[in-house]
Chains A and B, each alone.
Chain A
Amino acid sequence: MSHLDLLTFARGSALNWALMLFVAGIGLRLFEILGLGRKADLARPRTITPGSGWRTIAMRSLPAEGMLKRDPVTYIGGYVFHFGLLVTIFFFAPHIEFFRSITSLVWPGLPTALIDASVVAAIVALGVLLAHRLNNPVKRMLSGIGDYVAWGATLLPLLTGYLAYHHLLTEYTLMLALHLFSIELLLVLLPFTKLFHTFSLFISRWYNGDWFASKGVAS
């Protein structure tokens, strides 16, 4: 099998299965979580603050006061990583073409040099966050195998994409195929690991905001 054959497989059957498992997995988890339901809150709300759930979704994405001093590594590393990852996924022109082919939506891309910088920033941030996780006794105790698998599954697409673009380690076609395989691994793992926070964080933030508001805590 030539490298181009491998790439065709990665773009073809392998990607089809990965996307189907991803979509099915997301559907399954959302139904599972939402289907659990909550007991009806019979207490009268202390304050009437409509939209608290939605506000919390936005507010919790902003830096919390005092966090920079309390845990600067997690604070800065987390932002750098997530920002770098989002820019890389959604603003690299070939990635936009991928989304266009599936959703028919299209938006402007960024120059490759900026994407390259975002990838490097995200990879460095991941490395720093892993070191911090291993060195911090509390974080280390709280970490399980799932956390390290999620870390690896997130790193691989960034790393293989960077190596492919810069023609490092192996020739481009093979590295591009490996890049796609790493993305497919991420797609399959995402619904069934902590990576599902990509979706569930919005649900939990909305619920917390709405619930706290009814208890009299403004978002």
Chain B
Amino acid sequence: MKHAQQPDILPGTVGEGLAQRGITRREFLQLCTTLTALLALPPSMASAMAEAISKARRQSVIWLSFQECTGCTESITRSHSPTLENLIFDLISLDYHHTLQAASAEAAEHARAAAMKDNNGKYLLIVDGSIPMGNPGFSTIAGISNHDMLMETAQGAAAIVAVGTCASYGGIPKADPNPTGAVSVGDIVKNKPIINVPGCPPIPVVMTGVLAHFLTFGGIPELDAQGRPKSFYGETIHDRCYRRPFYDQGKFAQSFDDEAARKGWCLFKLGCKGPVTYNACATTKWNDGTSFPVQSGHGCIGCSEANFWDAGPLYEALSMPVSVTPSMLGAAAVAGAAAGAAITWHNRSTKAAAKAAHKKVTVQDLTREEK
């Protein structure tokens, strides 16, 4: 990479870090242009964003991992590196991340305590994983329960980013019957701005975009009703899917990898949850824009939606009932028939009683009414 010639580089800023790594102004502007587009900002904001990020001090970040599978960290750290996004990430001050950091136990906890003290009220707290409320012992770090560590660390945070569906909504640990009593960050932290970046895992560039927004504007982006940045979660997978025209034409794959599926026909009948899933997969895609699940032949499972795991079978169409069974309907038919038979019996009894009570009238019984 070429070395940058930037006249206004301030020491200790992201700009200085970029210059040290040989990122040119042109390359950096390209990244910022991409980010402004992803964040649905006007193109003119690209240079403003570049300016703001260049001059920003390296943002102190504390990353807490609770009940999770490390998929979120894997997703973000292994995103088609090396890229500018990665470098931006490198250029934040990741002060605590017990999965990634070399230090462990007391030393690691010391790093967290030092970051909290030095950047009180300014650091960004990133959380992945849900928090078990059933028993503190279900998940601990250095002998500290997830709940206690979150509440302590959240106190001095400027904002919290809940990365992944587990941190955002409880995720798979919260799936029925939720054995650990898992809850999301937003369920227990009420006094801090929280940005939910759900997905199992979330798209790396979404994370980078949220961070860029925070560094540029010093605040959180516009969020939807579920606390997700609208710029990334504003549209459904279905609406932006390249298979969508086939849905409209009534052309569907009947089984995985059949000829229709390979032709790009819609995966709705195979259980795709794209119509009710808000995420950027269909536009930003994964692995440097290579593909996303629907493109590789598997329907969307709706992983960026709250309680997606309990939202019905993954491989049945969205229009299918979740749990109705033939025996259920059979029992209803029998009950209805029995009630109908009872009513019939009642009607016939009434009819028979009326017939029995009927008195025959003969001609002799009739008398002319005298005027």
Contacts and interface: CB of A to CB of B under 8 A. Distances in A.
B59 to A, nearest CB: 31
A66 B147 CA distance: 78
A16 B323 CA distance: 7
Nearest to B344: A35
B343 A32 contact: yes
Nearest to A109: B250
A98 B307 CA distance: 23
Interface stretch (B36-44, B201-209, B310-318): B310-318
Contacts of A110: 250
Contacts of B348: 35, 37
A11 B322 contact: yes
Interface in B306-360: 306-308, 310-312, 316-324, 326, 328-329, 331-337, 339-341, 343-344, 347-348
A20 B83 CA distance: 57
Interface string A43-73: 0000000000000000000000000000000
Contacts of A172: 236, 275-276
B173 interface: no
B229 interface: no
Interface in A19-45: 19-32, 35-37
A32 B343 CA distance: 6
A147 interface: no
Nearest to A164: B275
Kindly name the residue among A26, A32, A95, A98 whose own CB sees the greatest number of chain B CB atoms within 10 A: A32
Contacts of B332: 19-24, 27
Interface string A1-29: 01111011001110110011111111111
B328 A111 contact: no
A140 B66 CA distance: 66
Contact of B347 (A19, A32, A97): A32
Contact of A16 (B169, B236, B324): B324
Q: Which 9 A-B pairs have the closest CB atoms?
A: A31-B340, A27-B336, A35-B344, A24-B336, A94-B319, A20-B332, A12-B322, A97-B317, A23-B332
A102 interface: yes
B268 interface: yes
B333 A23 contact: yes
A23 B305 contact: no
B329 A102 contact: yes
B269 interface: yes
Contacts, number: 145
A93 to B, nearest CB: 5
Contacts of A167: 239
Contact of A15 (B275, B276, B322, B331): B322
Interface residues of A, number: 45
A21 B340 CA distance: 13
B248 interface: yes
Nearest to B310: A8
Contact of A32 (B305, B328, B331, B344): B344
Contacts of B236: 172
Contacts of B320: 11, 97-98, 100-101
Given A2-B226, A35-B343, 15 more contacts: A2-B306, A2-B307, A7-B276, A11-B322, A12-B323, A15-B321, A16-B328, A20-B329, A21-B332, A24-B333, A28-B343, A29-B340, A31-B336, A110-B250, A172-B276
A40 to B, nearest CB: 15
| Most chain A CB neighbours (cut-off 10 Å) among B226, B328, B344 | B344
B295 to A, nearest CB: 21
Given A112-B250, A172-B275, A4 B329 contact: no
A26 to B, nearest CB: 7
